[in-house]
Amino acid sequence: MSAPQPIHLHDYQLPAYRVTHTELKFDLSPSATRVVARLHLERHSERQEDNLPLVLNGEHLKLLRVAIDGQELGAGEYSVDAETLTIFEVPQRFLLDTEVEIAPESNTALEGLYLSNGMFCTQCEAEGFRRITYYPDRPDVMATFSTTVIGDAASLPVLLSNGNPVERGELPNGRHFVTWEDPFPKPCYLFALVAGDLEKVEDRFTTMSGRDVTLQIWVEKENLDKTDHAMASLKRAMKWDEDTYGREYDLDLFMIVAVNDFNMGAMENKGLNIFNSAAVLTHPLTATDAAFQRVEGIVAHEYFHNWSGNRVTCRDWFQLSLKEGFTVFRDQSFSADTNSAPVKRIEDVSFFRTAQFAEDAGPTAHPVRPDHYIEISNFYTLTIYEKGAEVVRMLRNLLGWEAFRKGTDLYFSRFDGQAVTIEDFVGCMHEVSGQDLSQFMSWYSQAGTPEIDANGHYDYAKSEYHLTLRQRTPATPDQHEKLPLHIPIRLGLVGTKSGDDLEMTLDGETLGKDAVIHLREEEQNFVFTGIAEAPVPSLLRGFSAPVKLRFPYGREDLAFLLQHDSDGFNRWDAGQRLAMLALDDLIAAHRNGVEKVMDVRVVDAFRTLLTAKVDDKAVLAEMLTLPSEAYIAEQQPVVDVDAIHAARTFVKQSLAVALRDEFMAVYGDHQSDVSYAPEPGQIADRALKNVALSYLMSIEDEEAVALTQQQFEADHNMTDVRAALTLLTHSSRSDLADPALKAFGEKWAHDSLVMDQWFSIQVTRPQPDVLERLKFLMQHPAFSLKNPNKVRALIGTFASQNRVNFHRIDGEGYQLLADVVIELNKLNPEIAARIITPLTRWQRFDETRQALMKAELERIRAEELSPNVYEVVEKALAA
Ligand code: B3K
Ligand code: ZN
């Protein structure tokens, strides 16, 4: 087999033929579904070269018939290979009829039409539609669709597709049909079909122009009691998009369907969003606060795509962040407005700095707009989504909300019904604001995390504060030269006497107490005048740009900012930086075999946090949370998983010993038995209480063990139960943990989503026996390699979160992951290429581990690989 070849952005060409209307008829059967397609085609007005053949994409299809304008084609008039159907000569405008056969039941890749628990469903983004029928499978071909779904009436009572149902009826042999029409032109990646034995909950929403929309959530019968939160979230999202962006829904019907086997979180198909059941179903007894919030965010995200993605879509897949970065920015803003804004920002940034920074530093680093790829499925990444959102956030901040909103209005109206590029989006922002965004465009084309070295000093004599900023972006695999970026830095100068933000004047211009300065050069000096007292700078407030910023803060400075910074985000960050300094010392002590000593300044800072009356309890819970092992690892030149684990455990235990009574008081003060609601106040209380309990359990304090046991048995809500079960499972008290796990596993054996949590809790155990337990759990009846949620819960969680055990020095953790990748490569390449990520980061470890990890990558490379896994493994081994 020849190696898969990359495709390049600079090779983009307009489609030769456009589809103006698509008629589909599905006759459903698990082993042999017939798909009859009639495409209304015409030559693109700007592609008038002679003799352009019609080339359609199609994979895993059995072609039964092909005709043009009713004339069946003979053997010499077309050719078919594994990826295309080519028709040599076609008129300017014509009808193409095809009939193909596909086998949904043997589709384990979960792309195209497949079966999940007896239910037919589709996933077409990015290139799944070509597994359904022959088609120009590219986002810049937009057509209206009319779809007839035929199925067995008894086993498939519900037949859904995009748009509005226009006709339904009975057919011979116990079959029935429904015809759907979608009046909005769309690319085929937004096509969807669902057929199954489903039940619905229904609600209504009146749009701002007074149109009445029916909202439906379709689930398996036993999940009917788990849809309230998703429905409420959907209505909030619809209202928010009207209030915030002036965008209303455009069809009379909006449907969400929950399916168990799904590669991603959810999919924004026009009018028929298909969701991973984990991203839609919630119940106080089965879902944690985090899950409730995730569901709200994903429901909103998919809904927001109706404008940012569907009405205005991407010209080609290189532009993926055009819809994803913008839509993530929109869902983040929605969640911030709906819940606690500072906590939302802290959570997002804390995840970003851990996971996206690691991606940027690894072998698969790529720009927000990549310029080449082998397999587009590999590019649904943190860079495209989360860094893309940070770039849009910078634009919003550069322009200010009002101009930004003018820009989005212009973008949506000018490009409605079109497939466009990132230049089109940024062009609108430029047009409404007059701002020169040319340097800013490098954020889209340049990969890697910019690093800023900041230095400052206070000139007493002149009452000036001098700040020097130097930027540098390290080389990434195929980009060695980097340009200086335009980086907005929000900052304040906090007076050390007053503890207040000081008025800032720069080059004679009054900036106020909180302002943005613009770093454009490699190095720039900023002189703030009229600064009456020595300040501590509070830099990159709110994480105003996706960069690493270093400043030589002393521990006193950080303790000071932790108390006085007016920016909640930077107050939290000061605490993280302070903890990092202590952790660095302890990591060094561990490596050198020196006795570990706890920094009292950290203890004092935590005591102040625990005893002062902090208003925002959710922020407090975040402040009490130590940087994760993954985040700490990101900061080390060579990752020493054991030293990191030992140092972090030492800090946690030292704090627990020193502040035992304070943690106990916090726990007691936030216990409550009011009935569960996923609302910010309650969520904050639970977070705070469970953080306190986790400190106390780190030293297995007898009273805490009893409280944990009680919290588990009280069975009040999944947040508390899961926290308690996790603490027991991760402790040395197997006498308590084992019966608790057993009881939990039996009680929830029927609930797949709860069993996923049961898996994750066990494989994050720090004890060395965890690998054996993981192998045992892979044999559990609730586990299946064919279900992506199971793979993520068991294997993904182990490899990414149980760092000491995944990186075991005997290499067994690596071997297990490689075995799974090799199996999944055959079953589900998209998931295989994702789950392999921890192995690709071998450069970050010591030589012994590097060799072990590379050996596993080589073992994978020796297999016959899908393009997905091939692309990732090649990059990883080339690094
Ligand atoms: N647009 C989908 C992505 C699905 C791609 C799968 N290969 C989910 C989302 O971002 O909303
Ligand atoms: Zn999306």
How far is it, in rounded angstroms, from Cα 712 to Cα 314? 48
**Residue 377 and residue 374: Cα distance in Å, rounded?**
9
Asked whether residue 617 is domain-assigned, the answer is no
Indicate which CATH number applies to the domain containing 103: 2.60.40.1730
């080390």: which residue's tokens? 636
Q: Are residues 13 and 30 in the same domain?
A: yes
- 223 falls within a domain: no
Give yes or no: residues 103 and 164 share one domain: yes
Q: CATH number, domain at 332?
A: 1.10.390.10
For ligand 1, whether the C-beta of 386 sits within 6 Å is no
**Do both 112 and 131 map to the same domain?**
yes
Name the residue type at position 68: I
| Same domain, yes or no: 150 and 72 | yes
Work out the average pLDDT over 857-865. 98
Question: In this structure, how many other beta carbons lie within 10 angstroms of the beta carbon of residue 169?
Answer: 8
Nearest residue (CA) to ligand 1, atom 4: 125
Asked if pLDDT for residue 577 goes beyond 80, the answer is: yes
Whether residue 267 has its Cβ less than 6 Å from ligand 1: yes
- Phi then psi for residue 263, to 5 deg, are -70, -35
Mean pLDDT throughout 315-327?
99
The pLDDT value given to residue 612: 87
pLDDT of residue 390: 99
- Spatial distance between the Cα atoms of 502 and 528, rounded to a whole number of angstroms: 10
Rounded to the nearest angstrom, the distance between the alpha carbon of 642 and the centre of ligand 1 is 36
- The reported pLDDT for the residue numbered 736 is 98
Establish if 514 belongs to a structural domain. yes
* 68 shares a domain with 154: yes
Rounded to the nearest angstrom, the gap between the alpha carbon of residue 220 and the centroid of all alpha carbons in its chain is: 26
Please state the rounded mean pLDDT for residues 388-408: 98
Q: What is the mean pLDDT of residues 371-390?
A: 98
Q: What is the pLDDT of residue 138?
A: 98
For 168-221, how does the pLDDT look when each residue is reduced to its tens digit (9 = 90+)? 999 999 999 999 999 999 999 999 999 999 999 999 999 999 999 999 999 999
Q: Which domain range does residue 526 map to?
A: 451-545
The letter for the amino acid at 187 is P
Which residue's CA is the nearest one to ligand 1's atom 9? Answer: 267
Residue 247 one-letter amino acid: R
Residue 533 in any domain: the answer is yes
Task: Give 320 Cα–ligand 2 centroid separation in angstroms.
Answer: 9
Active site amino acids? 302
For residue 814 the two structure tokens come to 């690596």
Q: What confidence tens digit (pLDDT) does each residue in 294-310 have?
A: 999 999 999 999 999 99
Residue 422: name the closest of 444, 400, 442 by CA: 444
- Model confidence at 1, pLDDT cuts 50, 70, 90, reads low
| pLDDT given for residue 613 in this prediction | 77
CB 471 within 8 A of CB 450: yes
Distance 265 CA to ligand 1 centre (A): 8
Same domain, 192 and 336: no
369 in Cβ contact with 444 (< 8 Å): yes
Residue 282 Cα distances to 248, 677, 729, angstroms: 26, 12, 24
Q: Indicate whether 614 pLDDT > 90.
A: no
pLDDT at 269 over 60: yes
831-854 pLDDT tens trace = 999 999 999 999 999 999 999 999
Q: Which pLDDT score is estimated for 106? A: 97
117 and 16 inside one domain: yes
Nearest CA to ligand 1 atom 8: 267
- 419 with 519, same domain: the answer is no
Total tally of structural domains belonging to the chain: 3
Predicted local distance difference test score (pLDDT) of residue 58: 98
Whether residue 805 is contained in a domain is answered as no
- Measure the CA–CA gap between 430 and 440, rounded to whole angstroms: 11
pLDDT greater than 90 at residue 582: yes
Confidence (pLDDT) at 2: 76
Summarize the confidence of residues 489-493 as an average pLDDT.
Answer: 98
Q: Check whether residue 91 and residue 186 sit in a common domain.
A: yes
Residue 648 covered by a domain: no
d(CA 201, CA 223): 10
Do 27 and 154 share a domain, yes or no?
yes
How many Å from the N-terminal Cα to the C-terminal Cα in the chain? 24
Does the beta carbon of 302 lie inside 6 Å of ligand 1? yes
Return the pLDDT at 857. Answer: 98
* Rounded percentage of the chain residues whose pLDDT exceeds 70: 100
CA angle, corner 331, sides to 490 and 619, nearest 5?
55
Separation of alpha carbons 630 and 354, rounded Å: 6
Domain co-membership, 455 together with 441: no
- Structural domain contains residue 383: yes
What separation in angstroms does the CA of 582 have from each of 606, 614, 643, 735? Answer: 13, 24, 13, 34
Report how far ligand 1's centroid is from the alpha carbon of 268 (Å): 7
Q: Is 377 in the pocket of ligand 1 (CB under 6 A)?
A: yes
Q: Is the CB of 268 within 6 Å of ligand 1? A: yes
Average pLDDT over residues 115-119: 97
Does residue 616 form part of some domain? no
State which H helix or E strand residue 323 sits in: helix 320-338
Same domain, 55 and 175: yes
Of 134, 162, 197, which closes a domain?
Answer: 197
Domain boundary among 145, 170, 197: 197
Q: Which of 427, 445, 463 is the last residue of a domain?
A: 445
Ligand 1 closest atom vs CA 265: 8
